[in-house]
């Protein structure tokens, strides 16, 4: 079975308070992209139950196989239900450490594959609970539609926000941001304008109003991230922002444009909504 775990961008991202459990409460809008990895899983008839054999290709993935969310998703289901051996193949197109949710999407997609492949008949609530154990934004990727997110990112409400008719340019500067460090230095504050009121503003009106609280730290650590954002605005972006806690940056345009020369060497992806 083959699926295509997609990426997301954050439109606005605020850390509203620190929680007693070590997590943070956030407010954001998750918006899905068609940009995706490729994930295949097949039953390994020659393998032992509870054993997953993961093969990686494409962009480099940091960490051991045991920390990969595809493997962790398999382990979660096996511990609960017992599973036959599985061979999995993951081709990475979404950069890691970019704030695009690629790893979370891979993990959520693996839960969906296994549920269908082995006729586990798990409910959405069951899958949601297990996805949340993998990561705070994993539940979004079980049904990736534009959604306002609160809490750790798991309190999801479908949003009537549409980028239809716009072009997005997405850049990854080739450097990652430590999520732990980003949260350590982030400014805790509530949005000046509730994200739920975004539809009352045109996309042009988002500039300077809809913000990502992690940008200040990211720009200080890696000035190239701020430079990319500035270049996108100089090139006519209606709105530009870093996504997640970094380090990818996107710009929304009302027309197709050539990639700005000053940032053309960085990992680039285009989409027309």
Angstrom CA distances, 100 to 6, 91, 123, 176, stand at 9, 16, 26, 12
For 203, half-sphere exposure in the C-beta direction (CA atoms, 13 angstrom radius) is: 19
Residues 6+ apart with CB under 8 A from 237: 169, 251, 252, 253
Q: What are residue 32's phi and psi, to 5 degrees?
A: -75, 150
CB 213 within 8 A of CB 185: no
- 116 part of the active site: no
Tell me the chain's radius of gyration from C-alpha atoms: 19
CB 243 within 8 A of CB 254: no
The Cα–Cα gap between 179 and 183 comes to: 6
Given 37, 137, 190, 258, the catalytic residue? 137
- 137 part of the active site: yes
Q: Which residues of 14-26 are buried (b: 16+ CB within 10 A; e: fewer)?
A: bbeeeeeeeebbb
Q: What are residue 82's phi and psi, to 5 degrees?
A: 75, 125
Q: Which residues are catalytic?
A: 8, 137
């Amino acid at each position: 079975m083959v699926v295509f775990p997609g990426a997301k961008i954050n439109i606005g991202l605020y850390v509203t308070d620190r929680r007693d459990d070590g997590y943070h409460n956030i407010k954001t809008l998750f918006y899905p992209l068609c940009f995706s990895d490729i994930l295949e899983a097949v039953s390994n008839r020659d393998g032992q139950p509870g054993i997953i054999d993961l093969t990686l290709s494409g962009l480099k993935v940091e960490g051991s196989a045991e920390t990969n969310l595809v493997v962790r998703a398999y382990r979660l289901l096996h511990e609960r239900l017992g599973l036959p051996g599985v061979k999995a193949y993951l081709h990475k197109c979404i950069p890691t450490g970019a704030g695009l949710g690629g790893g979370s999407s891979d993990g959520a997609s693996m839960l969906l594959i296994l549920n269908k492949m082995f006729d586990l008949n798990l409910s959405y609530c069951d899958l949601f609970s297990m996805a949340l154990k993998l990561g705070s934004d994993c539940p979004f990727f079980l049904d990736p539609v534009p959604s306002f997110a609160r809490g750790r990112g798991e309190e999801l409400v479908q949003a009537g926000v549409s980028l239809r008719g716009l072009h997005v340019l997405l850049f990854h500067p080739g450097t990652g941001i430590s999520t732990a460090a980003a949260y350590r230095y982030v400014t805790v504050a509530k949005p000046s304008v509730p994200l739920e009121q975004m539809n009352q503003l045109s996309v042009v009106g988002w500039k300077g109003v809809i913000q990502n609280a992690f940008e200040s730290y990211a720009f200080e650590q890696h000035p190239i991230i701020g430079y990319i954002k500035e270049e996108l605005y100089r090139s006519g972006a209606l709105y530009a922002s870093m996504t997640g806690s970094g380090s990818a940056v996107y710009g929304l345009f009302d027309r197709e444009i050539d990639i700005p020369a000053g940032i053309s060497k960085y990992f680039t992806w285009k989409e027309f909504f």
